[in-house]
């Protein structure tokens, strides 16, 4: 088991290196650098000005060297201009030239400097991740129990009418991407002119004219039921159907197993069969599915945070990608690769742990 985890960690490291190099390569292509120079300097720069801007800041070195500098294996680029200003990878505003370190890469714990937010990447991304963490927590709280309940209810009597209606619901939810359900929810539930809000207001059931808020901007200061319900439900809905279907399949399979038949013949009540005998075995498969669902949730997070203007990780991704904020994008991709690979690892380990029949050879 130890060796297995060690090998997986090695694999993770190689994957992360390859991926960040690809991101590095793509963001450092010349047209992207030109765009960066023009947004940082001004939009009417001549070609020579762009070249000297990029050259002074070390952007025109060969990509592998820049990559190693970003990793912290090579000393960071630095150049002193004629007027005595020091420019380079490790230079930060407010830090004296003599205090500027020679190496500033991931290995030194320095994630770089965001050219858009004008702040260290680690600080910006940290607060964004905290916001997304809250969102994900509530998504999990809503999604997992409801998906499991739907799946178990549908799977315990395969082919029954309950099963068919619940399966239709889960198919419907997997067919509704976040940007569709989000749009429908906002139009129906968060509008002051259409949908449920004005109607409930007329009946005197709610105070304001809208039931929920269409943006989650105020959720950064404090999460309330009103401003956080729609983003959470929008993400949860898309993932829910898939988990529910997996749970249903697993439950249906367990219900046809020999030991369940034995329990039935023994005269155990249906409720006890489901609760005591079937449920525990049926929940092994959904566990791995839920873990593997995390990377998908990441997608949902990007869409929903954009739609509801909630400044979390996904919003930051869109912002950084739109402005070619190279070091921010790299940090974002490291985080997401980390999430993908760690959840894979956990699901593998958890699967072995939950299911004693499987042993890693």
Q: Is the Cβ of residue 284 or residue 318 nearer to another protein in the bound state?
A: 318
- Encode burial over 57-94: b for 16+ CB neighbours within 10 A, e otherwise: bbbbbeeeebbebbbbebbbbbeeeeeeeeebbbbeee
Spatial separation of the C-alpha atoms in residues 75 and 92, rounded to whole Å: 15
Work out how close the CB of 26 gets to another protein at its nearest, in angstroms, rounded to a whole number: 4
Q: Is the Cβ of residue 57 or residue 248 nearer to another protein in the bound state?
A: 248
Q: Is the Cβ of residue 31 or residue 84 nearer to another protein in the bound state?
A: 31
Spatial separation of the C-alpha atoms in residues 145 and 187, rounded to whole Å: 27
Work out how close the CB of 117 gets to another protein at its nearest, in angstroms, rounded to a whole number: 17
Q: Is the Cβ of residue 36 or residue 263 nearer to another protein in the bound state?
A: 36
Work out how close the CB of 315 gets to another protein at its nearest, in angstroms, rounded to a whole number: 11
- What is each CA distance from 206 to 24, 110, 210, 350, in whole angstroms? 51, 50, 8, 45
- Using CB under 8 A as the criterion, which residues of the chain lie in contact with another protein when the complex forms? 15, 18-19, 23, 26-27, 29-32, 34-35, 160-162, 165, 167-168, 171-172, 174-177, 179-180, 183-184, 186-187, 190-195, 210, 214, 295, 298-299, 302-303, 306-307, 314, 317-318, 321-322, 324, 329, 332-333, 336-337, 340-341
Q: Is the Cβ of residue 90 or residue 303 nearer to another protein in the bound state?
A: 303
Q: Is the Cβ of residue 160 or residue 262 nearer to another protein in the bound state?
A: 160
Work out how close the CB of 303 gets to another protein at its nearest, in angstroms, rounded to a whole number: 7
* Extended strands (E) in the chain: 78-80, 86-88, 113-114, 119-120
Work out how close the CB of 96 gets to another protein at its nearest, in angstroms, rounded to a whole number: 36
- Encode burial over 107-143: b for 16+ CB neighbours within 10 A, e otherwise: eeebbbbbbbbeebbeebbeebeebbebbbebbbebb
Work out how close the CB of 220 gets to another protein at its nearest, in angstroms, rounded to a whole number: 20
Burial label for 169, CB within 10 Å (0-12, 13-18, 19+), is middle
Work out how close the CB of 152 gets to another protein at its nearest, in angstroms, rounded to a whole number: 13
Antiparallel, parallel or unpaired: β 119-120 and 86-88: unpaired
Q: Is the Cβ of residue 91 or residue 212 nearer to another protein in the bound state?
A: 212
């Amino acid at each position: 088991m130890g060796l297995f985890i060690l090998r997986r960690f090695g694999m993770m490291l190689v994957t992360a290196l390859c991926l960040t190099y690809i991101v590095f390569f793509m963001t450092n292509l010349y047209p992207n650098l030109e765009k960066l120079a023009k947004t940082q300097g001004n939009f009417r720069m001549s070609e020579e000005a762009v070249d000297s801007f990029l050259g002074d800041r070390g952007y025109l070195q060969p990509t592998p060297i820049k990559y190693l500098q970003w990793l912290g294996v090579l000393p960071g680029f630095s150049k002193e201009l004629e007027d005595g200003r020091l420019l380079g990878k490790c230079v930060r505003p407010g830090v004296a030239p003599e205090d500027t370190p020679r190496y500033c890469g991931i290995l030194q714990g320095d994630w770089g400097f965001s050219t858009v937010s004008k702040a260290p990447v680690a600080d910006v991304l940290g607060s964004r991740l905290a916001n997304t963490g809250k969102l994900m927590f509530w998504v999990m709280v809503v999604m997992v129990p409801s998906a499991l309940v739907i799946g178990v209810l549908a799977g315990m009597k395969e082919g029954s009418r309950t099963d068919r209606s619940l399966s239709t619901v889960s198919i419907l939810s997997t067919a509704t991407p976040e940007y569709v359900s989000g749009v429908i929810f906002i139009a129906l539930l968060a509008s002051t002119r259409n949908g449920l809000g004005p109607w409930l207001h007329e009946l005197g059931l709610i105070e304001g004219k809208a039931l929920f808020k269409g943006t989650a901007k105020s959720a950064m200061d404090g999460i309330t039921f009103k401003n956080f319900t729609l983003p959470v439900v929008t993400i949860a809905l898309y993932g829910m159907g898939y988990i529910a279907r997996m749970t249903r399949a697993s439950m249906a399979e367990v219900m046809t197993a020999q030991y369940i038949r034995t329990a039935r013949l023994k005269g155990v009540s249906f409720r006890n069969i489901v609760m005591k005998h079937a449920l525990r075995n049926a929940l092994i498969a959904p566990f791995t599915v839920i873990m593997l669902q995390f990377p998908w949730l990441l997608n949902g997070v990007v869409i929903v945070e954009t739609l509801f203007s909630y400044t979390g990780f996904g919003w930051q991704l869109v912002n950084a990608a739109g402005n070619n904020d190279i070091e921010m994008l790299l940090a974002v991709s490291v985080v997401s690769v980390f999430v993908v690979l760690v959840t894979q690892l956990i699901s593998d380990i958890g699967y072995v742990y939950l299911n004693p029949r499987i042993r890693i050879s």
